[in-house]
Structure 1
Amino acid sequence: MRSPEDESGFTGAQKAAVLMLALGEEQSTRLFSMMHEDEIKEVSSAMSQLGSVRAELVERLCVEFGESMGGLGHLVGSYESTERLLQRALPRDRAAQIMDEIRGPAGRTMWDKLGNVHEAVLANYLKNEYPQTVAVVLSKIRPDHAARVLTLLPDSFSIEVVMRMLRMESVQKDVLAGVERTLRAEFMSNLARSTRRDAHEMMAEIFNNLDRASETRFVAALEERNRESAERIKALMFTFDDLGRLSPVAVQGLLRAVEKDKLPLALKGASESLRELFFKNLSERAGKMLRDDIEGLGPVKLRDVDDAQAAIVVLAKELAANGTIEIGEGKDEELVY
């Protein structure tokens, strides 16, 4: 494809391609890394077909870009300014639909967004869809997320979905587009309007970050005012004492990751049973060294103990989030011997 004679004949993708080539390989690589796959394809396609572009034309395009950016002054992007622009360019209902989607779970594409929807919410919606539609959706999201959704669907329905997935070949583009339109119109827009974070879950996280004295004070005060809410919050909280519910495998995983100077300080203020849980999952030599470290600390400030325990709780949550350990293991879990 021959390049236009002046910058007015360039498409947006061609202008971007010229600018990126002018910036050089290192900067262009960084820009590509921030683009969506569709944008990369569009710009790289234009780049591959540019042919020879005169130096003065490259310079004019770079100057045009610089002037357009410099002339904007201070920029403030917000939902409100975005919505005003969309309403000027699109029909009101379409602009509202796009804003609902933007305010929904984060993600560049519909499938990215679905990956950020809680599995229980997604399963509750999908159980009323056709098995073939559900099969398409589960084939497009991450396998771990699809697995969690699948287990929450009714048994007979989930098996039907599995069978459809097994028989499914490549999904036709128009079918996929239809599923996306349905999800966007019926699910994501409703989700954006109705999703509200559970207040008890939010307070549990806040209480988890209080020092011990403040936590005790707030929980006791809340129990007097609203015992039901207090119990819900306590059930959602994960504290250092809750580490006592971990399996030996989880404790060993935590021990491998924890900062060695924090463990003695944290266990200094722990119950004897919780200390024993950690000792049992160490070698005899390592357990003796840990006991000696705890005894060697002498008197310590309660705030320092709280800080060390809080750091280990945060670490346990991070390890659980990435699948290294499980922190939800209870005594009623089914075991295999």
Structure 2
Amino acid sequence: MTGVQRAAVLLLSLGEEDAAEVLKHMNAKEVQKLGIAMATISGVSREQVMQVISTFGEALDKQTSLGMGADDYVRKVLVQALGEDKAGSLIDRILLGRNTTGLDTLKWMDPRAIADLVRNEHPQIIAIVLAHLDSDQAAETLKLLAERTRTDVLLRIATLDGIPPNALNELNEIMERQFAGNQNLKASSIGGVKVAANILNFMDSGQDQVILGSITQVDADLGARIQDLMFVFDNLADLGDRELQALLREVPNDRLGLALRGADAKVKEKITRNMSQRAAQILLEDMEARGPVRLSDVEGAQKEILAIVRRLADQGVISLMASAEEMV
């Protein structure tokens, strides 16, 4: 079972009230993924349930060691669970008393609703909003904005260097919610070149290069830095064998075959080399047997796989930075 399926089994084992209490502490995307898994999972044996519970108990036992301060404990557990990047802002909100309820509410909204909310606002405000969202949600929102606005917004995201509380106040006024945070708080560390690169990774093919080209015209060095951090499907060939094998365990075969229809020969060779001979043969036969497919379907499958790549990178299973260094 995948990690999401194991989590679903655990929550289903807890009962309605306890499961609801756990879900209250998750973000929108996590709740959606777990909800789908809980609704669709079936055929789970008693032995599998006991194994999930046992594994969870062992993990919990390791994370509840005594003898350290509460702050250190929270920081350690969150970093282990989410990775350094994702845990950073959450740790700040918990340990420094931040309140970004308004921003978090946006993560439950449809990209079109977010675009309608901010399209007439100053590009700096739009940049703050998108920088706080997950990269795929931010990309979908960016697509719905005017073309002349996209480059300006992404340029501002890439050059964000901390957000003062008064900027968060202005954002919450847009959402007609009063910002309840302390004016003496430190700047919020969202945005930056990496966030801009991740958003571009989720843009449609062609749109990403148009925006990146416009940014490069304004600031060639910044454009190059964003380009260096962008991870595209053909970069799968630069992953290590163990990393690629970990990725392949998470990707359904039908989506992999569709994604490889538009891939470089180097990527196809690297992927099939990291599969069993029989599995590789079946994959290639399925690709040959499948009739013509739409380019948009191929790109959609590739983006799904790239989303898994980023999730595994956030979990520390694979390293995109190491792949970039190998390319250089």
Structure 1 or 2, whichever has the larger Rg, is 1
Q: TM-score, normalised by structure 2?
A: 0.44
Q: TM-score, normalising length from structure 1?
A: 0.43
